[in-house]
Structure 1
Amino acid sequence: MSSPSPLSTRERILDAAQKLVRRGEGIVSMAAIAKAAGLSRQALYLTFADRADLYVALVRRVDEARGIPEEFAKVRNAPDAVAAIRALVDMQARLLPLVKPIADVFELLRRQDPDAERAWQDRLDSRRDQCRYIVERLVEEKRLRPDLSPGIAADLAWSLTSFRMWDELVVQCGWTAERYGTYVSALIENAIVAPRSRPAPSRQRRPKPGAKP
């Protein structure tokens, strides 16, 4: 049997960084990452420009491992905007339990480390882009609530699909993934989607007095 191919320098660095970050011991220095990866600091900086660059790559790697790019594709390939909303909420319901360990660490780390904050904002921006796309489709389909601007509607959808909201409802309140998906989808739809107009009921002409029925 052939032996497994050795990890690339990039993968060695990301493996080491992920293990150190998961320990939750606060700010992780580039020197500590280099040592854990068995590399010199020079080799580390030849691969990543700085710690922020490394953190962004790490968060994206975690998302890719969980299939998030493919899930975003499902949102964009949904048949209509309402189906796209449901696909986004369904994605959060299924994948956030898998992302939670690293998300919890970054929630703490970003408060003390600007580089971690930049990486986490990069991740949040990806979901915000999906929400903007959904709102663009609502506009095209003439289904956006008329009292909302596209920017406000996207902000609402982005906030209602946040990790924090999922964590409070599922982890803190004990909701099932099914309940989360059902109620959060309905909440977003009620918040930003205009109800379909119903045709006015036809008026039946009243018979003239004395006319035969």
Structure 2
Amino acid sequence: MSSSETTTRSRILQAALRLIESGAKTITMSAIADEAGLSRQALYLAFSDKSDLFIALLRFADGRRGIVQEQARIRAAESGIAALLAIIDLQARLSPAYKPLADAFDVLRRQDPAAQNAWQDRQNDRLEGCRAVAARIAAEGKLRLGLDTSTAADLIWTTTSSTTWDDLVVKRGWTAAEYQKRLAELLLSLLVT
């Protein structure tokens, strides 16, 4: 990929992010092109369709938040339990800054299939990380008897979701420290022998 393609893609992603964070209820490719100061043709040269653009946008936003480094930290944890605690820590620290984009996508994905596809891509990626952690806990002989890794991964995935964080911290008023402590206690009691 050439430097100008990278610059064009970056301009498009930043423009789309601005539109979404501004609270726009519908986001068209034309609106994104206008915001980026590009033609629609230039936009389609960089992204094949809106789903492709939205998937890249969520990955771009995750990159800006340091998710790649956080995922590496989770994978490098000394044990499966330490990796589980690192997932909870990640959500406690990074969810506040991610909330505006998550809220915007929550509205957008309900009316735009491309946004839904992108959101699902991100959730699938998060689920794969939870599966890896559950498998690691099981391989270390620490998974609760009678609990399979698939169910354990589902429990980690849903309990550490941005929706759960929003419900507990924003709506119920938990502090980040309370969220982290209580979720750790809950998941350890559910999953670990």
Q: 1:1-213 alignment to 2 at 5 Å?
A: 8-194=7-193
Q: Spell out, residue by residue over 1:93-140, the C-alpha distance to the aligned partner (whole angstroms, 9 max, x if none).
A: 000001011010001111101100111111112211111011111121
1:25 CA displacement:
2.2
Cα displacement (A) at 1:19: 1.1
Distance, in Å, in 2 between the alignment partners of 1:44 and 1:23 is: 20
- Give me the whole-angstrom Cα distance separating, in 1, the residues matched to 2:11 and 2:24: 20
| Runs of at least 5 residues in structure 1 that lack an aligned partner in the other structure | 195-213
- Residue type of the partner of 1:54? L
More divergent stretch after superposition (14-23 vs 87-96): 14-23
User: How many residues of Structure 1 are paired with residues of Structure 2 in the alignment?
Assistant: 189
**Structure 2 gaps, min length 5:** none
Cα deviation code 1:9-35 (max 9, x no counterpart): 111111111111112221211111111
Identity %: 49
Q: Secondary structure at the match of 1:132?
A: helix
Query: 1:173-200 CA distances to partner (integer Å, 9 max, x unpaired)?
Result: 1111111111101111111111xxxxxx
Q: Which amino acid aligns with 1:39?
A: L
Q: Could you tell me how far apart the structure 2 residues matched to 1:155 and 1:76 are?
A: 18
Counterpart of 1:100, as a letter, is K
Shift of 1:63: 0.8
In 1, the alpha carbon distance for the partners of 2:156 and 2:7 equals: 39
Q: SS of 2:166's equivalent?
A: helix
Please report the RMSD computed on the Cα atoms of aligned residues, expressed in angstroms.
1.3
Find the counterpart in structure 2 of residue 206 from structure 1.
none
Partner letter of residue 70 of structure 2?
Answer: E
**What is the identity, as a one-letter code, of the residue corresponding to 1:28?**
I
Moved over 2 A (4+): none
